[in-house]
Structure 1
């Protein structure tokens, strides 16, 4: 079993606390929905877990491995992630992006990339430029990259962005299949997209997080399910700020 534990994590920017997470734990076999308003700290938290942002304090641990500068490269090999697309990749060919991805993770590039593309229903050629793909196709390409080294942790920041209904359904099926032996953490602005895929939820507002709560318990305890759970925690944090 894979477990991520976060304790007393803090991050400040220009003297303002943007993240203050006391305790969170994520385990394999579960799909966690991380929800919160814009600017709440969702992406900052995910980037800390990926080692892309160095927190001011606290600890992130993968099983027995504590994330720090010395362990970052080892830690990264266990993580696959999809974040907002950057325009800087548009002029790259798909082949170049693949090469850079495996170089970054210090991994050997697989010989058969076509199978991974088939898993996300992409029919593209290695010499195509990424900028020639539609938003949804680029999103599926990044998902294929994220899972290409068989990580034990999958972090997806708005993975349904730009996908048509068929693309959303395909991505959800793939995530469900992957979650059987991985930790999966997803952010989305759509409660509907999360409600039929996640098994547990965490709300984040003003950089603070609720406890992890099972979706079944949320739907049992709150009349309007996830929406009520979200609104109650946001009201609570608003009253403290």
Structure 2
């Protein structure tokens, strides 16, 4: 296997829930520290990295709306939660000797730069890990859609969705012992079978721009590096 990474530039999507570890709320410093270690390790072999983090460990707009809150207000609260997570991840990266920039889709100048595509690409090219916060800046769009959008905008070679499951299965593996994991799917497969890999808008954006997507288990140490080395881990979604 070549020492050169298979991918030059990636966009990593982390769920907010992933940062909780075994807790019910908030951020587990051990989890965010381990993720930062893996991200920096991958960057040091020459991979350029952008990151989108969700906010579900703090607030989820759709859930608040279901409980009676105005959906737009709930989504704005969720965007602010992603800023908090991005700041925490940036801090963990910089404590380990990396360089990070938080860019927000909503203006919040005292804590983050405004998202400007050309500036984001420049940061990435200079070896900074860019954390894209506040989703797309618009209500009714998930951070999955934000991840697909940013991946296309910055010219990533691969969109990675880090989850707590090692790929996409035919059924919920926690409930169905006979569930099997897909090695590869097409964008059409995901949409037609309603596989809940990402929301439909995100998958359609990936499909329309030929952005390959890999879903993998972030709780297994070293998985990110193995993917960068070309190993087939998790489930790949592409044009087939």
Fold match (TM-score > 0.5) = no
**Greater fraction strand:** 1
With a CA cutoff of 8 Å and minimum separation of 6, indicate the structure with the bigger relative contact order.
Answer: 1
Larger Rg: 1
TM category (shorter chain) comes to: 0.3 to 0.5
